[in-house]
């Protein structure tokens, strides 16, 4: 199962904490983690094996959207910072729309991510 992890700058610490809190589950199951650039780097530093794509603002969100469309990514954890403006908002909206179109579970905050991870 492939899970994508993405987080805005103000949410990267929360993403790493979420991954650490669920490390046993993520390492026990046959789960492959993909991530946008900086989020992936932080996850790697926390001890996770991650396939990293470009940073979100330079195309990483779009790269993960392609994986959703291709049926490779089964679940997306995208911890968004709703209080900041993001220059790549069209890419974010596209990714979220494609998750809906392709019926791929999408968590945009830790509470929802926790519910989804428990379903694995």
Query: Where in the sequence numbering do the catalytic residues fall?
Result: 61
What is the spatial order of strands in the sheet that 75-79 belongs to? 50-52, 32-35, 2-7, 75-79, 106-107
Q: Using an 8 Å Cβ cutoff, are 12 and 38 in contact?
A: yes
Question: Rounded distance, CA 50 to CA 36, Å?
Answer: 10
Q: Using an 8 Å Cβ cutoff, are 33 and 51 in contact?
A: yes
What residues contact residue 15 under an 8 Å CB cut-off, 6+ apart?
Answer: 5, 7, 39, 42, 43, 77, 79
């Amino acid at each position: 199962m492939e899970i994508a992890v993405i987080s805005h700058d103000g949410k990267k610490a929360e993403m790493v904490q979420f991954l650490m809190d669920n490390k046993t589950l993520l390492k026990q199951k046959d789960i492959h983690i993909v991530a946008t650039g900086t989020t992936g780097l932080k996850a790697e530093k926390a001890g996770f094996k991650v396939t990293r794509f470009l940073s979100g603002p330079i195309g990483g969100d779009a790269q993960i959207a392609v994986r959703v469309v291709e049926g490779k990514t089964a679940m997306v954890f995208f911890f968004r910072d709703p209080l900041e403006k993001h220059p790549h908002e069209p890419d974010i909206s596209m990714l979220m729309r494609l998750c809906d179109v392709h019926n791929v579970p999408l968590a945009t905050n830790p509470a929802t991510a926790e519910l989804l991870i428990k379903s694995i």
